Amino acid sequence: MRADLTLIHEWIPEGARVLDLGCGEGTLLAALARDKRVTGYGLEIDPDGITACLAKGVNVIEQNLDEGLANFEDDACDLVVMTQALQALRRPDLMLDEMLRVAGECIITFPNFAYWRHRAYLGFKGYMPVSRSLPHAWYDTPNIHLSTFNDFERLCRDKGLSIVDRAVGIGDHEGHWTSRWWPNLFGEIAIFRVARRA
Amino acid sequence: MPEFPSDSVGLVTPQTAHFDDPLALACGRTLPAYDLVYETYGTLNAERTNAILICHALSGHHHAAGFHSTDERKPGWWDAHIGPGKSIDTDRFFVVSVNNLGGCHGSTGPTSENPETGRQWGPDFPIMTVGDWVHSQARLADRLGIERFAAVIGGSLGGMQVLQWTLSYPERIAHAGVIAATPKLSAQNIAFNEVARQAIRSDPDFHDGWYADHGTAPRRGLKLARMVGHITYLSEDAMGSKFGRDLRTTDLNFGFDVEFQVESYLRYQGDTFSTSFDANTYLLMTKALDYFDPAAPHDGDLARALAPAACPFLVVSFTTDWRFPPPRSKELVNALVRADKSVSYVNIDSSHGHDAFLMPEPRYQAVFAAFMNRVAGDLGLEGQS
């Protein structure tokens, strides 16, 4: 499993009701159902991802996240997870509101645009960064709202949300390390656990 | 059977089950005895855990797959999905498809003899509901020794039967496949049904439904009903790409004969149908559609109505279906989510309108196959194929 997914897997409590936004092939939900009796739904629009979820027995609902989560009631879930999808949404800020309406807590991961390799790519080459976490060219990328570790923290602060936990992912083989030191520079993947202000 | 495709179930023979135990119906009347005609494909395993029930739509019947004879041009109505190696793999599953009560293809219906009068039931045949059908299907399952279906699957009116199964017999259904259906008809749906019924009832040959006694049949009315229905089953795109505004002749003739290809097509479809289908059955089936509304006894709260359901659902809609469009399927999905049920929903891109549920389409087939794999996996049927 991807480094960020491994960490999320650890963070999610036994028996939780989880909504996974942009669940892809349902890898996380399948693992959580198997290891932690987690129930819930994945939302996805990619046809191949949806078919893969069905084959795994993961509950998947074809739904465009840009249309919101109106079909889920307030506090319908314990946790909303969104891995590597925030940056592809039309309004990430509104989605954050929606996520914390549907559940008291959410876990979000996204590529950190301020990662040193990205900075170096742009700084030295003068081109939009292309990397493992940002594999697309500028013209065909689904990632329309790139941000940094710091940007996201500021958004949470402005919204009065509390950041329960944060971590950085750096590559698949290394797993993750949780650090207070320069996450904005050394973190390739930003991983946040955010709650409504208690 | 070399004359049939290798992924066909081949030659099939309908069977009849006779029931003498009276069936109490939702309308308050009781059917004293009745026949159900059905077909089966594949083999029931020793544990009797691999049975799939296929529920048919408005004008459908028991002949879902394979061929009745070597001369039959067209296979059963869902042959695209049922057969060895197909989505509903008959190497793995035992498939049962039944002609509903009130039908006109062998099961007891308006064209059957009423034992009390010795003549055809005709318009006297009780109005059936989706619930009545499900009860009768459960009795057939008892007869076949099937305690619990691995899945009950159906499209359109068939999908409503599936939904009813999850509510009437939650312990007897392990998975539900609700395709191109709706939890209840809209006013527009009912309006189309009423136009169809009026077309039939206003035919001078209808004789209040006693047309058989008059040695006639309301063919013109039935033809019109089918033409209206057929328009709602296709999408505008499908009709446009199939016929456009193509003319049958080179010039306009400024009259009311057939000029456009689409007119010719509709007339042909209507004619064919009117000679093979019974008008009273059509009236009864459209009424069953109109009445279906499991939320009604729960103040319209579908989530509350779904409380008894216990199995995982697959809900499928098609983008160009305007008979039961995707939002109607989403209504069901959202209610299932609110009721905390296990559900997956897929909206298939198709140009075929409502009829798309009958067609082979790569994504539809992939989705269906993945779901059926899950059905097999959940029930430990992998070793069967």
Specify the pLDDT at position B385. 44
CA-based nearest distance B202→chain A, Å: 44
Separation CA B152–CA B161 (nearest Å): 9
Tokens of A165: 């936990």
Residues of B with active-site annotation = 156, 321, 354
Put simply, the answer to whether A54 touches B371 (Cβ < 8 Å) is yes
Tokens of A189: 């993947």
Question: Does residue B207 contact residue B213 with C-beta atoms inside 8 Å?
Answer: yes
3-state helix, strand, coil in chain B (%, to 5): 40, 15, 45
Q: How many CB pairs under 8 A join A and B?
A: 54
Tokens of B379: 């029930």
Question: Does residue A56 contact residue A35 with C-beta atoms inside 8 Å?
Answer: no
End-to-end Cα spacing for chain B: 20
| Residue B148 known to bind ligand | no
Report yes or no: B151 at the A interface, CB cutoff 8 Å.
no
Q: Amino acid letter at A89?
A: L
Residues in chain A with pLDDT values less than 50: 173, 175, 178
Residues in chain B with pLDDT values less than 70: 1-2, 382-385
Return the CATH class of domain B191-285. Answer: mainly alpha
- Which residues in chain A are contacts of B347 at CB distance < 8 A? 62
Report yes or no: A80 at the B interface, CB cutoff 8 Å.
no
Chain A contacts in chain B segment 288-327 (CB below 8 A):
312, 314
Report yes or no: B177 at the A interface, CB cutoff 8 Å.
no
Question: Does residue B367 contact residue B348 with C-beta atoms inside 8 Å?
Answer: yes
- Which residues in chain A are contacts of B151 at CB distance < 8 A? none
Report yes or no: A35 at the B interface, CB cutoff 8 Å.
no
Counting Cα atoms < 13 Å in the Cβ hemisphere of A48 gives 0
Say if strands B82-83 and B30-31 run parallel, antiparallel, or are unpaired. Answer: unpaired
Among the residues of B207-346, which ranges form H helices?
219-233, 236-243, 261-276, 279-291, 302-305, 326-338
CA B175 to each of CA A53, B310, B378: distance values in angstroms, whole numbers, following the listed order: 16, 9, 9
Put simply, the answer to whether B370 touches A55 (Cβ < 8 Å) is yes
Separation CA A143–CA A111 (nearest Å): 10
Report yes or no: A126 at the B interface, CB cutoff 8 Å.
no
Report yes or no: A76 at the B interface, CB cutoff 8 Å.
yes
Put simply, the answer to whether B344 touches A59 (Cβ < 8 Å) is yes
Q: Please provide the DSSP assignment of B215-253 as one string.
A: T---HHHHHHHHHHHHHHHS-HHHHHHHHTT-BSSSS--
Specify the pLDDT at position B198. 98
Closest alpha carbon within chain A to B347: A62
- Which residues in chain A are contacts of B309 at CB distance < 8 A? none
| Residue B226 known to bind ligand | yes
Separation CA A17–CA A59 (nearest Å): 12
pLDDT digits (tens, 9 = 90+) for B364-381: 999 999 999 999 999 998
Q: Which contacts (CB < 8 Å, 24+ apart) does range B271-274 have?
A: B271/B223, B273/B59, B273/B222, B273/B223, B273/B226, B274/B217, B274/B219, B274/B220, B274/B222, B274/B223, B274/B226
CA A179 to each of CA A185, B131, B244, B328, B366: distance values in angstroms, whole numbers, following the listed order: 11, 61, 65, 49, 44
pLDDT digits (tens, 9 = 90+) for A107-161: 999 999 999 899 999 999 999 999 988 999 999 999 999 999 999 999 999 999 9
Residue among B337, B367, B378 minimizing CB distance to A71: B337
B-interface mutation test, from A51, A75, A102, most B Cβ less than 10 A away:
A51
Q: What is the largest CA-CA distance in chain A?
A: 48
SS3 A168: strand
Separation CA A195–CA A11 (nearest Å): 13
Say if strands A176-177 and A162-169 run parallel, antiparallel, or are unpaired. Answer: antiparallel
SS3 A7: helix
C-beta neighbour count of B30 within 10 angstroms:
10
Beta bridge partners of B307: none
Closest alpha carbon within chain B to A53: B370
CA B60 to each of CA A10, B100, B101, B113, B357: distance values in angstroms, whole numbers, following the listed order: 51, 9, 12, 21, 13
Specify the pLDDT at position B382. 67
Superfamily of the domain at B15-184+292-379:
Alpha/Beta hydrolase fold, catalytic domain (3.40.50.1820)
Closest alpha carbon within chain B to A19: B337
Question: How do the domains of chain B map onto residue ranges?
Answer: 15-184+292-379, 191-285
CA angle B22, B25, B27 (to 5 degrees): 140
Put simply, the answer to whether B345 touches A62 (Cβ < 8 Å) is yes
- Which residues in chain B are contacts of A52 at CB distance < 8 A? 370
Domains of chain A: 3-113+145-195 (3.40.50.150)
Put simply, the answer to whether A71 touches B330 (Cβ < 8 Å) is yes
A-interface mutation test, from B346, B349, B365, B375, most A Cβ less than 10 A away:
B346
Report yes or no: A5 at the B interface, CB cutoff 8 Å.
no
DSSP category for residue B346: E
Burial of B191 (0-12, 13-18, 19+ CB in 10 A): exposed
pTM for this model (two decimals)? 0.95
Separation CA A136–CA B24 (nearest Å): 64
